[in-house]
Amino acid sequence: METLRIATRKSPLALWQSEHVAEALRDAHPGLMVSLVPLSTRGDEVLDRSLAAIGGKGLFLKELELAMLRGEADCAVHSLKDVPMDLEGPFALPAILPRADHADAFVSNHHDGIDALPAGARVGTSSLRRQAQLRALRADLALRDLRGNVNTRLARLDDGDYDAIVLACAGLERLGFASRIRARLDAPRWLPAPAQGAIVIETRDRDARVQALCAALDHADTRACVEAERAMNRALHGSCHVPVAAFARLDAGLLTLQGLVGSAVDGRVARAQASASVGDAEALGRHVAHSLLEAGAAQFLPSLP
Ligand SMILES: NCc1[nH]cc(CCC(=O)O)c1CC(=O)O
């Protein structure tokens, strides 16, 4: 019988996402045996330093990629927002699943939203993108680092370490915590990470059998949106070192991309927006990146060539 082994991180969200993909693959290919190969990654283990300090988001991928190269897994499942703009090595992304809720969530036990926070309130997030947008809206807030998986972050909020935290709606909803969302932080006022809410399957680029199986789950509309967002981020050399936010929506064949680059230090932000036909996702991303630079984004970016 044909089999497929999915490498996954061990966090509750990663396991949920990988099980979701396994179910979808079994549905698409009756008779296919799909199993999970749970692995620990450096990004999960080192929680006392920022992701930027320990080498960026690629840390979540590397161990899973090595398992594929060793032949211990056929594919890996990731949150696309954690996948670097340029894959390194002999890998491909044959399936991007339909996007869930793209928005960030304001989570608090005492307050209804960012505007309702008292002066100087402690808000937990280690994301430079979220810090910059919080600063832009409320210069008085006391931003505090907060890493760890979704469950850990909620537990620290409940312990009273923070007055509020910001998380992705998609992660909360997948783990059964939708009731913790006090407010959705929505465009145009607040933008998510490029590709937030989209799950992706990574395979070896030469493995045609596995790529064909996975491609059955690819969702063209989601791929077009996240391609525009990721092309914008790529053109800005975006990574977790840089506060870049992007959101594209597709409406009757027209793709509209909103982008933001900001400063986590003082909350200044540059914004830009443009539309293009769905076939021009990459060009749209580059165009919005260019507009952002014209709007002053370069001063917030570490080093542009
Ligand atoms: N940074 C970790 C991460 N990667 C993906 C998600 C949420 C799920 C998604 O965006 O698909 C999260 C948690 C969060 O940001 O709250």
Over residues 24-72, the pLDDT tens digits come to 999 999 999 999 999 987 666 665 665 556 555 567 799 999 999 999 9
DSSP-derived secondary structure letter, 30: T
> Pocket around ligand 1: residues whose beta carbon is below 6 Å from it?
79, 81-82, 150, 167-168, 170-171, 196-197
Over residues 165-197, the pLDDT tens digits come to 999 999 999 999 999 999 999 999 999 999 999
Q: Residue 142 has what pLDDT?
A: 98
CB atoms within 10 A of CB 267: 18
> Which helix or strand (DSSP H or E) is residue 61 part of?
helix 59-69
Closest alpha carbon to 57 in 249, 172, 194, 187: 194
Q: Residue 238 has what pLDDT?
A: 66
Please state, for a pLDDT cut of 70, what percent of the chain lies above it.
Answer: 92
Q: Residue 179 has what pLDDT?
A: 98
Q: How confident is the model at residue 204 (pLDDT cuts 50, 70, 90)?
A: very high
Q: Residue 240 has what pLDDT?
A: 56
Q: Residue 301 has what pLDDT?
A: 81
Residues carrying an active site annotation: 82
User: Residue type at 296?
Assistant: G
pLDDT at residue 225 greater than cutoff 90:
yes
Average per-residue pLDDT in the chain?
93
Q: Indicate the pairing of strand 3-9 with strand 164-168.
A: unpaired
pLDDT at residue 232 greater than cutoff 70:
yes
Q: How far is CA 221 from CA 115, 228, 252, 255, in A?
A: 34, 11, 11, 10
For atom 9 of ligand 1, the residue with the nearest CA is 197
Probe target for ligand 1 pocket from 10, 78, 81, with the most ligand atoms within 8 Å of CB? 81
CA 250 to ligand 1 centroid distance, Å: 22
> Which helix or strand (DSSP H or E) is residue 132 part of?
helix 128-137
